[in-house]
Amino acid sequence: MTLVTFSAEDPGGWSHALERAQLLDEVGVDRLVVSDHVAFGEDLEAYGRPELGGTAGGVQPTGPDGHWLEPLTTLAVVAGRTSTIRLGTNILIAALRRPAVLAKTAATLDVLSGGRLDLGVGVGWQREEYEAAGLDFGRRGRLLDESLEVLEALWTQQRARHSGPTLTFDGIHQMPKPVQPGGVPVWVSGRIGPRVVERLGRFGHGWIPWGDDAADPIAAAGRMRAALEQAGYDPAGLEVVGRLAIDGPDGLGVDGAMATVPELVAAGVTDLRASLRLPADADAARERLVEVVGAFRVATGRPPVAATVPGSAR
């Protein structure tokens, strides 16, 4: 489920987001994800341009002075206030961070959360964000690939080495390693295409479809698995994100959305995410979430969540 950590205006504090994260944990939501922007330029219409990495018809949810919390910092705070829910980025513009520092930050968060971190990554769509970081927007895909190479090396090698177009090192030690075997699971975002397929095959635990592929995940999941196999990668075990359309203009309501679950699962969609319009009142929000989580568990044949005391750790 998406945890909203941005606002068009100053919200006057972020306790509401932290309280919402605790509530998601308490009612048995499996995963929460947060968004990323480091900085903004003023050409926000670029978000609607697929050739730049945006999505056709997309509208950026805030203006250039919108308030966006840094995702890994936010997840560190959330980790300390939750106990079982998985914590993820959707998506982190990973190349904007120096790779060795990102490896250290993510490993630390994974250790402190007890192995609950997932790293969803993508190239982003905004040229100015790369320029503000002193990076070439035109090379953003290669920058991301090299970042993932460095993460893999530092997470899995006791005496790490790397030789790439922008970074070379040998005999580097970085501890602690992530709790999760093989490192923090990486989810690659993007449309089906040679570069995304290669990135997913090399580094990806899961795929976050984007653009037209996100609009039809049932067809896209099959196409991506076929593309991976054709590129020489084993698609077995690939996890794929899909959407539960509960609220919003195209929302189906709880019953309607849950009726789509069997077909999504049969097509190989493994991670179903929803953005819910929850009431501001905590009790009403809890009641709504309990309804949605209960219906989802029935639709997926899972046992109900054990009752918890509000505010308690599970």
pLDDT digits (tens, 9 = 90+) for 256-271: 999 999 999 999 999 9
Looking at the domain assignment, is residue 314 inside a domain?
no
Distance CA 80, CA 100 (A): 24
pLDDT of residue 306: 61
Cβ count near 38 (within 10 Å): 16
Q: 304 lies in a domain?
A: no
d(C-alpha 42, C-alpha 27), whole Å = 40
d(CA 314, CA 311): 9
* Res 310: pLDDT: 41
List C-alpha distances in Å: 150 to 96, 168, 185, 198, 263: 14, 10, 14, 16, 38
The predicted model scores a pTM of 0.93
> What's the mean per-residue pLDDT of the chain?
94
Domain assignment present for 111: yes
Position 271 in a domain: yes
Kindly report, residue by residue over 46-78, the tens digit of the pLDDT: 999 988 888 888 899 999 999 999 999 999 999
Q: What percent of the chain has pLDDT over 70?
A: 97
Q: What pLDDT shows up at residue 10?
A: 97
Phi-psi region of 114 (alpha: psi -120 to 50; beta: other; left: phi over 0): left
Question: CA-to-CA distance for 199 and 231, rounded, in angstroms?
Answer: 11
Considering Cα of 70, then 72, then 73, then 74, what sign does the dihedral take? positive
Could you tell me how far CA 288 lies from the centroid of its own chain? 23
Domain limits for position 184: 6-299
Q: Are 47 and 58 in contact (CB under 8 A)?
A: yes
Q: Can you read off the two tokens belonging to residue 248?
A: 């919003």
Look at the alpha carbons of 50, 273, 23, 93 in this order and tell me if their dihedral is positive or negative.
negative
In a domain, 313, yes or no: no
User: What is the mean predicted confidence (pLDDT) over 10-39?
Assistant: 97
pLDDT at 313: 31
Rounded to an integer, the average pLDDT of 27-48 is 96
Total domain count for the chain? 1
Q: Where are the alpha helices (DSSP H) in the chain?
A: 15-27, 71-80, 99-112, 127-132, 140-156, 194-203, 212-215, 217-230, 253-259, 261-266, 282-299
Domain of residue 173, CATH code = 3.20.20.30
Given this model, what pLDDT does residue 311 score?
Answer: 36
Query: For residue 84, which of 45, 11, 26 has the smallest C-alpha distance?
Result: 26
- Does 311 map to a domain? no
Q: What is the mean pLDDT of residues 228-251?
A: 94
- Whether omega for the bond prior to residue 176 falls within 30 degrees of 0, making it cis, is yes
Residue 181, both tokens: 């075997």
- Over residues 163-218, the pLDDT tens digits come to 999 999 999 999 999 999 999 999 999 999 999 999 999 999 999 999 999 999 99
Q: How far apart are CA 73 and CA 150, in angstroms?
A: 21
Whole-number Cα distances in Å, 280 to 121, 252, 284, 289, 291? 31, 22, 8, 13, 16
Q: Which pLDDT band holds residue 250 (cuts at 50, 70, 90)?
A: confident
309 pLDDT band, cuts 50/70/90, is very low
Q: What pLDDT shows up at residue 302? A: 86
pLDDT computed for residue 126 by the predictor? 95
Regarding predicted confidence, which is higher, 276 or 115? 115
Confirm whether 152 is domain-assigned: yes
How many angstroms separate the CA atoms of 64 and 69, rounded? Answer: 14
Q: Hunting for tokens 């106990």 — which residue is that?
A: 83
Asked if residue 148 belongs to a domain, the reply is yes
